[in-house]
Amino acid sequence: MSERRFDVVVFGATGFTGKLVAAYLTRKRLAGEAFTFALAGRSRAKLQEVRAGLAAIDPRAAQLEILLADAADPASLEAVAAQARVVLTTVGPYAVHGEPLVAACVAKGADYVDITGEPEFVDRTIVKYDDAARAAGVRVVSCCGFDSIPHDLGVLFTVGQLPAGAAITIEGCVRASGTFSGGTWQSAIHGFANAREMRKRAKQARRPAPAGRSARGLRPSVRWEPRLSAWLVPMPTIDPQVILRSARVLEAYGPDFRYGHYAQVKRLATVIGGAAAIVGIVAAAQLGPTRRLLERVRGSGEGPSEAERKKSKFRVTFLAQGGGQRVVTAVSGGDPGYDETSKMHSEAALCLALDRVKLPARAGVLTTASAMGAPLLERLQAAGIRFEVVERS
């Protein structure tokens, strides 16, 4: 790793989120953090346009190297991975385009981070690459954006507020505003269309907790939560899966850990209307003609304007109990899907590249909590993501 040319390579730097990541890294260097990074993608002309935009932030960015690589060309991906400590990718849907880059990173000894929220892709990565990544000493870390850093590290932060060695129950309650990019929409449609395969793969990927410990989900149900003055609605995202993977690895989560994940909704009518809309989209995604119509709603590379993103924010509240104590914590920030996701993604890559001596001696297909834990939490707090204790009792 000491011979790598770049600390971080941004693969997909011409996409909507890729541009935000490249701009964030440029501002980090301008603020004084010392690291090297390069831009990678299929089109030299488009990468040159991105580089010119970054030079307006920091003139040194005009010297950034451009690496040509294509998700359909494994040799080009291996050439990128061989030069990087960490490859950061924004190229989705990951279930379609992601696996060759994981394979290249494992083969060439580079750590890997992405922002997928696709269970199918994560499960397939665990099944196919966990053993090889461990043998190679490589950290493969998916879900390094809003899915699932606020939830995964929020639970890690919350566990630290409770007595050690106790059984712990935590409920994560998500409230967020914002819109979505074309890449996010395409990933969601692909996931809906392959739900049956996802369930099969999830069983193959599940790793048991060590003997004497358990980590399991709470039974989902809709209920009114007076502490939040809101309805809690089970939220079928990848976040609970990620949190339970962390809990099975980390002894700090105690001998018996249980987690439930919910959307926080003010009105029951919103719950009913949202459920009906999701059922309709899932049904339409099963058929080729209607799936293609859904895919045209927003194409890859499109996303919300800066003005739209400035209006967006998120807050995840954790209701926790263990060892006879109760605690309420929260993680909050700005636009969850893009501004904060690009920040989290970038900081995760920098953490793997620059903070290696602080990280757990652990390799394989990992979560953010099991791969980076406290060092990444510190980076995110310094970057403006707020982790706080709201109440103790």
Write out the chain's pLDDT in tens, 393 residues. Answer: 568 999 999 999 999 999 999 999 999 999 999 999 999 999 999 999 999 999 999 999 999 999 999 999 999 999 999 999 999 999 988 999 999 999 999 999 999 999 998 998 999 999 999 999 999 999 999 999 999 999 999 999 999 999 999 999 999 999 988 665 454 555 456 555 555 555 555 555 667 788 889 999 999 899 999 999 999 998 888 999 999 999 999 999 999 999 999 999 987 766 666 655 555 655 565 656 666 665 565 555 567 888 889 999 999 999 999 999 999 999 999 999 899 999 999 999 999 999 999 999 999 999 999 999 999 999 999 999 999 999 998
How much is the pLDDT for 305? 85
Count of the separate structural domains present in the chain: 2
How much is the pLDDT for 377? 98
Same domain membership, residue 227 and residue 167: yes
Q: What is the CATH number of the domain that holds 92?
A: 3.40.50.720
Same domain membership, residue 188 and residue 114: no
**Within a domain: 157:** yes
Indicate if the alpha-carbon torsion angle 209, 214, 218, 219 is positive or negative.
Answer: positive
Q: What number of other Cβ atoms are within 10 A of residue 190's Cβ?
A: 20
How much is the pLDDT for 345? 98
Same domain membership, residue 208 and residue 278: yes
**Within a domain: 294:** yes
**Within a domain: 1:** no
Same domain membership, residue 104 and residue 60: yes
Q: Which residues of 156-166 are buried (b: 16+ CB within 10 A; e: fewer)?
A: bbbbeebeeeb
Same domain membership, residue 362 and residue 330: no
Same domain membership, residue 243 and residue 195: yes
Task: For residue 230, give the 3-state DSSP assignment.
Answer: strand
Q: How far is CA 322 from CA 78, 153, 247, 328, 392, in A?
A: 46, 18, 14, 12, 12
pTM, to two decimals: 0.91
**Within a domain: 32:** yes
How much is the pLDDT for 270? 66
Task: For residue 7, give the 3-state DSSP assignment.
Answer: strand
**DSSP per-residue codes, 123-142:** HHHHHHHHHHHHHHT-EEE-
Same domain membership, residue 90 and residue 36: yes
Same domain membership, residue 288 and residue 261: yes
**Within a domain: 361:** yes
Q: Which residues of 77-109 are buried (b: 16+ CB within 10 A; e: fewer)?
A: bbbbbbbbbbbbbbbbbbbebbbbbbbbbbbbb
Tokens at 23, concatenated: 């701009």
Same domain membership, residue 233 and residue 275: yes
Tokens at 4, concatenated: 């790598």
Same domain membership, residue 142 and residue 196: no
Same domain membership, residue 325 and residue 207: yes
Same domain membership, residue 119 and residue 195: no
Question: Which residue range(s) make up the domain with 278?
Answer: 149-335+386-392
Separation of alpha carbons 145 and 336, rounded Å: 8
